[in-house]
A and B are shown apart, each in its own frame.
Chain A
Amino acid sequence: MIQEKFVLKKENLHAFLEALSKDMEVFVPCHNENGATTFLPYNGQEIYTAAQTFYSPKQALNKPSEKEFFFGKKSSSVEVERVKQNGGKMIFGIRPCDTHAVKAFDKLYLEYGEVDPFYREKRDSTLLAALVCTEPCSNGFCHSMGTQEPTGHDLLMVEKADSFYIEAASSKGEELIKKHRGLLNITKFQKPELNFECKKKLDTRNLKEILDKGFFSKVWEEEGKRDLNCTSCTQVCPSCYCFLTLDKFILNTENSERFREWDSCHLQRFTKVAGNHIFRKSRESRLRQFVMHKLSYFQKNNDMMLCIGCGRCISVCPVGIDLTEIAAKIRSEFE
Chain B
Amino acid sequence: MAKKMRAGFYSLSCCEGCELVVFDLEEKLLKALEFVEIVDARLFDGNHPNEKLDIAIVEGGVQSELDKKHLEEIRERSTYLVAFGACATIAGIPGIRNSLPKEMQAKLNSKAIIPVKEKVFPVPAVVKTDFVLQGCPAFTHELLDLLVALYHGKKPVLENIPVCKECKERENPCLLFEGIPCLGPVTYAGCKALCPTERAQCIGCRGFTEDANFEALRKRFRKMDVDERIIHNLFTYFNQNPFKKEGE
Contact surface of A with B, Cβ cutoff 8 Å: 32, 34-36, 38, 54-55, 59, 64-65, 225-232, 235-236, 248-249, 251-252, 262, 264, 267-269, 281, 283, 316, 318-319
Contacts and interface: CB of A to CB of B under 8 A. Distances in A.
Chain B, interface size category, equals 35 or more
Nearest to A286: B211
Nearest to B159: A269
Nearest to B214: A228
B171 A55 contact: yes
Nearest to B28: A251
Given A34-B171, A228-B213, A251-B32, 9 more contacts: A54-B173, A59-B171, A227-B216, A229-B211, A230-B164, A231-B164, A268-B211, A281-B211, A283-B211
Contacts of B144: 251
Given A251-B148, A252-B34, A252-B35, A228 B173 contact: no
**Chief secondary structure at chain B's binding surface:** helix
Residue among B145, B176, B216 with the highest chain A CB neighbour number at 10 A: B216
Interface string B171-208: 11110110000001110000000000101000000000
A225 B217 CA distance: 11
Contacts of A36: 171-173
B220 A318 contact: yes
Nearest to A247: B154
B28 A249 contact: no
Contacts of A34: 170-173, 197, 199
Contacts of A236: 168
- A-B pairs, 3 with minimum CB distance: A235-B168, A230-B164, A64-B169
Contacts of A316: 168, 174
Contacts of A249: 148-149, 152, 154
B196 to A, nearest CB: 9
Contacts of B176: 318
Interface in B137-166: 144-145, 148-149, 152, 154, 159-162, 164-165
B213 A229 contact: yes
Nearest to A316: B174
B31 interface: yes
Given A249-B152, A267-B161, A318-B185, A32 B171 contact: yes
Given A34-B172, A38-B171, A249-B152, A228 B31 contact: no
A235 B199 contact: no
A38 B176 CA distance: 19
B165 A235 contact: yes
A65 B32 CA distance: 25
Given A229-B211, A264-B165, A319 B216 contact: yes
Interface of B: 28, 31-32, 34-35, 144-145, 148-149, 152, 154, 159-162, 164-165, 168-174, 176-177, 184-186, 197, 199, 210-211, 213, 216-217, 219-220
A268 B217 contact: no
Contacts of A225: 216
Contacts of A267: 160-161, 165
A236 B162 CA distance: 15
Contact of A231 (B168, B170, B197, B216): B168
Contacts of A54: 173
B171 A231 contact: no
A236 B173 CA distance: 11
Residue among A35, A251, A281 with the highest chain B CB neighbour number at 10 A: A251
A262 B167 CA distance: 13
Given A34-B172, A228-B216, A252 B31 contact: yes
A227 B165 CA distance: 14
Nearest to A256: B152
Contacts of A59: 171
Nearest to A248: B145
Contacts of B197: 34
A228 B145 CA distance: 29
A289 to B, nearest CB: 15
Residue among B152, B168, B173, B217 with the highest chain A CB neighbour number at 10 A: B168
Nearest to B168: A235
13 contacts: A34-B199, A54-B173, A228-B162, A228-B186, A229-B162, A230-B185, A236-B168, A251-B28, A251-B144, A268-B160, A269-B161, A283-B213, A316-B174
